[in-house]
């Protein structure tokens, strides 16, 4: 409790002297907001409590407490009571029909996405929140299932429009029958303010997580990077990583961070010798029943010999090697699927299938043997591996060599699963007390999509380190990694904990111990920021695991093709990815920096992805295969020094897209807004052509929607008031608009008509809106930025306006090389570039003012352009 003279008590005492008014009321079976019935047929066992009546004390920072209580009348908590205690309780919260909603639900254990409808029965299982449109009062209401005690909750569809809440502990030994605050409701006239206020209130009340504004983010958020996954899968090894970084650097886009993804660890299977690495793994899925048998790097990296790649004649490396191994592994996978299909068809003689599979596996093993290169390995004279650690071998030597040769490589991250490996830690192989736990899936996951990862993890169980050792577990791994030059980790497969919580007090209690251990290790070993969370898109993680973690994935994996075999999936899956990211950012962005994931620059839809990454407000990274780069595309995203022209905020869907279906309604274009320092930006993307099928419980193609779409854009689509630094720009009298793809420039006002657009499937347009400055009674000026970058306005670092006795000036600081574009209605007298007068182009027809800028390395790419009028 807070002490009597605590400022929190003072606030509460003042509030107690006034009768509290709350916009919500539960009366006669109706949940009412501002006199408008929202939910009908609310059961009598459901309760409503105001925010201030429930949240009476907290250790949250005082400014957050004050902010939460300043909007306390906007929100409150729903609870319910049952007669009999249980570990899994379901209860109606009431029903609604004919009211548009936006929701986020889990379509896999790990991943969430957007869903819209107009009835409680339209909700999907495992809904993380639902946003209701209440046009009668020009407002929006959100219902967020939360955590209470040892229970977490989610929303489910009921019959006849009912909204069900499911409260579950994850352990049959942990039961309850009564909840006073198992869901939170909040109202606002602005959907973006609503998200901020609601999650601020929950942060103060729960006090188990922190908002993004309270945390530092890793430095990689405004840099370019490369991830090894799609280039190598599990065949990743030092020489391949080296060549990947080298190719990008030589192509003019030097990676500033590297993620060595799955495949670097010491893993094996239960049937193998306990201290030997599994050999010749290639495709994702084959490793999912394997477990860690030691906490350092696997043999491929342990054998690395320091300096092997630094000399004038480094060992030769076959750039086609990874692709050949992957191709052969895919042949095996197809052969195994053909065998399994034959079994399902009733075929009993499988000998021909088995012979083919064994032949292909033998060929794969021979390819691995034929590609071994001992010149990179630390060996004794008799050919036996040296078992020692020093700066001359292993991961430490490799990271030192990378940094020695690639001077701008700031960060090297490695991948690991939350439980160590996909299958956890193998019992008896480390100092940790691990135990193989059989997996149990909650009933809510019955509504999710079939998933190879889930099948494999359930098949093998998880070697779970006892939660009392979570601190030791993560510190043992991370302290070693930090010592050998690793600056961060990508932690994947996070939501497996809910599968194995039966013996450990339930999923909330197990989660608390694991996330606490992970957070402590992050603070100690990786500067408090060096962790990207992934496969984590569930409220357990966000409410329990984000006190320290400040960045995470907001979309499913980048799929370059449909794993279920639809040949058109190579196209429609890309729009699906953008929808995941855009709508998940609305809530996740309150707590973590949204990460839109990697993509491949030579993919058929790479430009489509690049356009979204350019304005998403997060890091930009690719998973290009060796030799598989589109440098013309990448240089529109990345500066030569590996930094990026990043937006100032994280991207949101525009207000007119919130209750729409930009995937398969056949009419809606996805629009996302963001800010640059000196303007706003809207990206319009035709994502139509695929989406969730509730009956089939999978994401599939809707080919009838994969067609050109018409839409419109307006300067008022940008929510200028959502960032203090941008709010003044929203009051401009006039704007110059630049269309990056069409290369068009024109003027608009907040009172102007909308700008019509037509987009082909899997294409986009980026609109830069820049306030126009009236320099004198005649001259107007508006700096657009670099037209050769997708986010043109992100290149502008500073703008200064001046005047003299006989002139006015506009001085613009720009990062990057290429064509700088500005608007002016009059011909400038002179132009100076870094103090030297230079020529420029100006068009009286549309006001385009153009000057070509060099990339000056010694100035960190910064140019100062001064126009004199």
Query: pLDDT tens digit string along 442-477?
Result: 988 988 999 999 999 999 999 999 999 999 999 999
pTM of the model: 0.95
Comparing 12 with 734, the larger pLDDT belongs to 734
CA–CA separation, 697 and 445 (whole Å): 11
CA dihedral sign of residues 487, 492, 495, 500: negative
Residue 478 DSSP SS3: helix
User: Measuring CA to CA, how many Å separate 21 from each of 11, 24, 48, 57, 201?
Assistant: 16, 9, 14, 20, 17
Region 349-372 average pLDDT: 88
CA distance 572 to 552: 24
Q: What is the DSSP string of 744-760?
A: EEEEE-TTSPPEEEEE-
pLDDT band at 492 (very low <50, low <70, confident <90, very high): very high
Of 97, 141, 139, 154, nearest to 122 (Cα)? Answer: 97
pLDDT above 60 for 385: no
What mean pLDDT is predicted for residues 71-85? 97
Can you say whether the dihedral through the CA atoms of 458, 698, 655, 715 is positive or negative? positive
3-state secondary structure of 275: coil
Q: In what order do the strands lie in the sheet with 764-771?
A: 652-653, 670-676, 679-685, 764-771, 735-739, 744-748
Which tokens is 175 given? 């039961």
343 pLDDT above the threshold of 70 = yes
User: Residue range 202-218: average pLDDT?
Assistant: 97
What was the pLDDT predicted at 85?
98
Planar angle of CA 505, 509, 513, nearest 5 degrees = 120
Neighbours of 322 (CB within 10 A): 26
> pLDDT value at position 390?
57
> pLDDT tens, 251-292?
999 999 999 999 999 999 999 999 999 999 999 999 999 999
Pairing of strands 808-815, 836-837: unpaired
* C-alpha torsion sign, points 450, 453, 458, 459: positive
DSSP for 401-414 reads HHHHH-TT--EEEE
Beta bridge pairs of residue 862: 815
Task: Dig out the tokens for 685 from the structure.
Answer: 């993307």
Rounded CA separation 338/331 (Å): 11
DSSP-derived pairing of the beta strands 755-759 and 780-786: unpaired
- Cα 113 to its chain centre, rounded Å, is 12
Length of the chain: 869
Q: Rounded to an integer, what distance in angstroms lies between the CA atom of residue 852 and that of residue 814?
A: 11
- DSSP, collapsed to helix, strand or coil, labels residue 400 as helix
Lowest mean pLDDT among 87-91, 721-725, 737-741: 721-725
Pair of tokens at residue 529: 């920021």
Q: What does pLDDT average to over the chain?
A: 94
Classify burial at 697, counting beta carbons within 10 Å of its beta carbon; exposed 0-12, middle 13-18, buried 19 or more.
middle
| CB atoms closer than 10 angstroms to residue 520 | 17
What is each CA distance from 484 to 305, 308, 382, 487, in whole angstroms? Answer: 14, 17, 27, 9
Residue 12 confidence class, pLDDT cut points 50, 70, 90: low
pLDDT at 805: 81
Q: Output the pLDDT for position 379.
A: 38
- From the CB of residue 112, how many other CB atoms can be counted at a distance below 10 Å? 27
Largest CA distance in the chain: 96
Helix, strand, coil in percent for the chain, rounding step 5: 30, 30, 40
In this model, does residue 828 exceed pLDDT 70?
yes
Rg (CA), the chain: 28
- Cα dihedral: 185, 187, 192, 197 (round 10): -60
- With contact defined as beta carbons under 8 Å apart, do 542 and 583 qualify? no
Alpha carbon separation from 503 to 170, 445, 538 (Å, rounded): 9, 20, 21
Q: How far, in Å, CA of 748 to CA of 359, rounded? A: 67
381's CB contacts (< 8 A; 6+ apart) are none
Rounded to an integer, what distance in angstroms lies between the CA atom of residue 241 and that of residue 626?
A: 9
Reported as half-sphere exposure (CB side, CA atoms, 13 A), residue 752 has a value of 20
Q: Give the separation between CA 553 and CA 113, rounded to whole angstroms.
A: 12
Least confident of 235-244, 330-339, 374-383: 374-383
Which pLDDT score, from 0 to 100, does residue 806 have? 87
Contacts of 194 (CB under 8 A, 6+ apart): 131, 140, 142, 186, 187, 188
Q: Is 98 helix (H, G, I), strand (E, B) or coil?
A: strand
**What is the per-residue pLDDT for 311?**
82
DSSP letters for 205-220: HH-SS--GGGS---GG
If residue 459 lies in a helix (H) or strand (E), which one and from where to where?
helix 452-460
Please say if the pLDDT value at position 624 is more than 60: yes
Per-residue pLDDT band at 570 (split at 50, 70, 90): confident
Give how far the C-alpha of residue 402 lies from the chain's centroid of Cα atoms, to the nearest Å. 27
DSSP string for residues in 622-679? E-PPTT---HHHHTTT--TTSB----SS--EE-GGGTTS-TTTSSSPPEEEEEEETTE
Distance CA 187, CA 510 (A): 33
How confident is residue 572, by pLDDT bands cut at 50, 70 and 90? Answer: confident
Report pLDDT for 386: 41
Rounded mean pLDDT, 626-638: 97
Q: What is the mean pLDDT of residues 132-146?
A: 98
The dihedral region occupied by 420, where left means phi > 0, alpha psi between -120 and 50, and beta the remainder, is: left
pLDDT confidence of residue 446: 87
What is residue 370's predicted lDDT score, i.e. its pLDDT?
A: 67
Q: Residue 605 has what pLDDT?
A: 95
CA distance readout (Å), 59 to 5, 55, 775: 14, 11, 51
- What pLDDT is stored for residue 793 in this prediction? 98
**pLDDT greater at residue 389 or residue 7:** 7
Question: Of 152-166, 336-350, 439-453, which one has max mean pLDDT?
Answer: 152-166
Q: Note the pLDDT of residue 376.
A: 62
Q: Which candidate, 210, 82, 77, places its Cα nearest to that of 145? A: 77
Determine the average pLDDT of the residues in 539-557.
97
Contact 241/263 with Cβ under 8 angstroms?
A: no
pLDDT at 381: 34
């Amino acid at each position: 409790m807070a002490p009597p003279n605590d400022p929190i008590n003072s606030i509460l005492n003042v509030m107690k002297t006034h009768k509290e008014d709350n916009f919500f009321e539960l009366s006669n079976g109706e949940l009412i907001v501002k006199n408008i019935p929202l939910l009908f047929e609310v059961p009598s066992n459901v309760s409503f409590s105001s925010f201030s009546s429930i949240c009476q004390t907290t250790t949250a920072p005082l400014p957050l407490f004050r902010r939460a209580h300043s909007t306390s009348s906007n929100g409150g908590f729903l609870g319910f009571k049952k007669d009999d205690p249980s570990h899994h309780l379901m209860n109606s919260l009431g029903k609604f029909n004919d009211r548009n909603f936006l929701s986020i639900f889990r379509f896999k254990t790990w991943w969430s996405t957007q869903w819209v409808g107009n009835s409680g029965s339209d909700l999907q299982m495992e809904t993380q929140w639902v946003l209701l449109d209440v046009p009668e009062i020009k407002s929006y209401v959100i219902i967020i299932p939360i955590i209470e005690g040892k229970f977490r909750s989610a929303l489910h569809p009921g019959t006849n429009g009912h909204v069900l809440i499911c409260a579950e502990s994850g352990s049959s030994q942990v039961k309850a029958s009564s909840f006073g605050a198992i869901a939170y409701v909040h109202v606002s006239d602005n959907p973006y303010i609503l998200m901020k206020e609601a999650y601020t209130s929950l942060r103060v009340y729960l006090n188990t997580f922190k908002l993004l504004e309270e945390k530092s983010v890793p430095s990689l958020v405004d840099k370019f990077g490369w991830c090894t996954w799609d280039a190598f899968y599990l065949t990743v090894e030092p020489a391949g990583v080296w060549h990947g970084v080298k190719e990008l650097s030589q192509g003019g886009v030097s990676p500033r961070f590297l993620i060595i993804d799955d495949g670097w660890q010491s893993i094996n299977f239960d049937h193998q010798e306990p201290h030997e690495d599994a050999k010749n793994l290639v495709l994702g899925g084959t490793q999912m029943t394997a477990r860690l048998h030691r906490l350092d790097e696997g043999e491929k990296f342990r054998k690395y010999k320091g300096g092997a790649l630094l000399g004038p004649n480094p060992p030769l490396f076959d750039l086609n090697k990874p692709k050949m191994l992957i191709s052969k592994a895919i042949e095996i996978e197809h052969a195994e699927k053909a065998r399994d299909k034959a079994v399902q068809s009733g075929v009993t003689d499988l000998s021909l299938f088995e012979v083919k599979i064994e032949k292909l596996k033998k060929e794969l093993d021979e390819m691995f043997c034929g590609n071994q290169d001992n010149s990179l390995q630390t060996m004794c004279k008799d050919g036996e591996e040296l078992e020692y650690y020093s700066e001359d071998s292993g991961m430490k030597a490799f990271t030192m060599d990378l940094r020695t040769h690639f001077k701008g490589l700031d960060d090297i991250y490695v991948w690991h699963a939350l439980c160590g490996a996909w299958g956890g830690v193998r019992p008896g192989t480390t100092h940790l007390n691990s135990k193989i736990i059989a997996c149990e899936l909650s009933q809510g996951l019955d509504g999710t999509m079939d998933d190879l990862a889930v099948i494999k993890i359930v098949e093998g169980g998880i070697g779970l380190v006892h939660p009392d050792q979570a601190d030791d577990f993560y510190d043992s791994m991370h302290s070693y990694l930090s010592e050998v030059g690793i600056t961060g980790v990508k932690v994947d497969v996070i939501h497996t904990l809910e599968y194995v919580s039966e013996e450990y007090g339930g999923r909330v209690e197990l989660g608390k111990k694991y996330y606490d251990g992970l957070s402590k290790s992050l603070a100690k070993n990786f500067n408090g920021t060096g962790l990207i969370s992934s496969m984590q898109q569930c409220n357990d993680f966000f409410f329990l695991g984000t006190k320290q973690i400040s960045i995470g994935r907001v979309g499913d994996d980048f799929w370059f093709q449909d794993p279920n075999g639809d040949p058109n999936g190579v196209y429609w899956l890309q729009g699906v990815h953008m929808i995941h990211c855009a709508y998940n950012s609305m809530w996740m962005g309150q707590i973590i920096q949204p990460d839109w994931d990697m993509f491949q620059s030579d993919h058929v839809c790479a430009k489509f992805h690049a356009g979204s990454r350019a304005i998403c407000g997060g890091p930009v990274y690719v998973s290009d295969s060796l030799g598989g780069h589109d440098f013309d595309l990448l240089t529109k995203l990345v500066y030569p020094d590996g930094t990026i022209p990043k937006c100032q905020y994280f991207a949101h869907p525009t207000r007119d897209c919130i209750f729409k279906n930009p995937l398969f309604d056949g009419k809606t274009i996805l629009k996302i807004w963001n800010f640059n320092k000196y303007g706003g930006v809207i990206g319009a993307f035709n994502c139509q052509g695929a989406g969730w099928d509730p009956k089939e419980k999978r994401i599939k193609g809707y080919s009838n929607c994969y067609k050109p779409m018409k839409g419109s854009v307006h300067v008022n689509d940008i929510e200028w008031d959502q960032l203090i630094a941008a709010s003044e720009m929203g009051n401009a009298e006039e704007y110059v608009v630049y269309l990056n793809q069409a290369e068009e420039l024109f003027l608009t006002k907040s009172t102007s008509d909308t700008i019509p657009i037509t987009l082909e499937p899997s294409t986009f347009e980026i609109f830069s809106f820049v306030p126009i400055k009236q320099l004198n009674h005649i001259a107007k000026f508006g700096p657009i930025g670099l037209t050769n970058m997708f986010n043109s306005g992100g290149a502008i670092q500073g703008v200064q306006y001046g005047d003299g006795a006989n002139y006015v000036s506009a001085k613009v600081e720009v990062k990057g090389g290429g064509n700088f574009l500005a608007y002016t209605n009059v011909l400038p007298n002179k132009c100076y570039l870094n103090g030297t007068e230079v020529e420029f182009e100006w068009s009286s027809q549309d006001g385009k003012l153009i000057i070509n800028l060099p990339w000056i390395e010694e100035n960190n790419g910064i140019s100062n352009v001064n126009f004199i009028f």
